Chain A
């Protein structure tokens, strides 16, 4: 018998989409600062935001638990329990944290490749930094930024380790596709596992091809 795969599939897409929206705002913003603002400790910040890409996701998840858990730093700081653990928002947080480095890395390289003389030209033509960002820098770095977001989305979709730490594995609430594959295997439901794995592989392949085409400028 095939278990219901509709919910995990929908939840995973929903979580990955939210995480990618966060990446588009914060990841692209951080990438711009890293690429264009020579502030003190810039490379340290870069290392810090890259860390989740290298750390085992379980370790990242543990840090997130320290941050937003029942006795977490955020709760202690505000005097309230943020109370997002074991909700699908926790899954969004976990997916975002683990996947945003891909956006930051790719978008930073794209922003750095925009000719600084062209950016200066925009300033001398009466346009401030915000306008220059929207009309010149972002359009010229578009492909790299999109490629980064596509990779982040794919990574967010497959997030397991950090998710299971902060969002748990609550059936009908936080059992995203990767968790459901694990559950299926644990319960010996190989048919469901295989189906989910195949869906996953197809989605991931599609995303890698898209990211590569964006990177090469043929999409």
Chain B
């Protein structure tokens, strides 16, 4: 169960070699901005093609450079949510959610829409357009839209970083509830240690220089594998305690 990644990607001035797997849990990718966390998610979602390697979800292979498999993003079983608002500005919240339900029988669509609207507390906002929503409401609508497809995993790329602190706290609760109610694995990118520490079942630390470490937050704080990872966790921890 879960998502498994083992890929390389050469980019101008930056090489990314990354390997980790996460199971049915809430996994947090943590590290400095620019360490390749978001790129990893883009590769999993199929929006960026790795140079080599393998990506799979449950038993399904989505990318395999040796076997020349590269599943198109629209056929990958993920819900992908980013920091900015990617709701379709010309559609209402309801239309945005319905857009994700291609192939779902009409009779079932109503229930699907209702279930995600309730889960993300969007009652009363169904007929608004994205520009009529607050930042937090926009993020909830994006989560609702991503969940409507019943994804096999949720990929969240710094989903709260554009929001104010109180709303962020609320959104962390929302994500935890969604993970429990929809029984969906979550892979979330953040560069906020507090967020990483309080939310993660499993932490994947991007230490830079090709260093990675995976474990529970507790394990990683107690036994960081390299000085760089220790520095990353320690400096951030001190800052977080101030």
Contacts and interface: CB of A to CB of B under 8 A. Distances in A.
Interface of A: 115, 117-118, 120-128, 131, 135-136, 139-140
B88 A136 contact: yes
Interface of B: 45-47, 72-76, 78-80, 82, 84, 86-90, 99-100, 102-103, 145-146, 149
Contacts of A120: 45, 47, 73, 80, 86
Nearest to A115: B86
Contacts of A117: 82, 84, 86
A52 B143 CA distance: 48
A173 to B, nearest CB: 45
B41 to A, nearest CB: 11
A207 to B, nearest CB: 26
A139 B145 contact: no
A124 B90 contact: no
Given A117-B82, A117-B84, A124 B73 contact: yes
B72 A128 contact: yes
Contacts of B45: 120, 124
A125 to B, nearest CB: 4
A124 B103 contact: no
A140 B89 contact: yes
Contact of A124 (B80, B87, B88): B80
A126 B100 contact: yes
Q: Max chain B CB contacts within 10 Å: which of A121, A123, A126?
A: A121
Contacts of B87: 118, 121
Contacts of B72: 123, 128
B11 to A, nearest CB: 15
A123 B76 CA distance: 9
Given A118-B86, A123-B47, 4 more contacts: A125-B99, A126-B100, A136-B88, A140-B89
Nearest to A127: B74
Given A120-B47, A120-B73, A121-B80, A126 B102 contact: yes
Q: Max chain A CB contacts within 10 Å: which of B73, B79, B80, B149?
A: B73
A136 B145 CA distance: 15
Interchain residue pairs A-B with the least CB separation, the first 7: A121-B86, A123-B73, A124-B80, A125-B100, A117-B86, A118-B86, A123-B74
A122 to B, nearest CB: 8
Contact of B149 (A126, A131, A139): A126
Contact of B99 (A115, A127, A140): A127
B31 to A, nearest CB: 22
A190 to B, nearest CB: 51
A50 B78 CA distance: 41
B37 to A, nearest CB: 16
B100 A140 contact: no
A124 B155 CA distance: 11
Nearest to A142: B90
A125 B146 CA distance: 7
A117 to B, nearest CB: 5
Nearest to B102: A126
B84 A126 contact: no
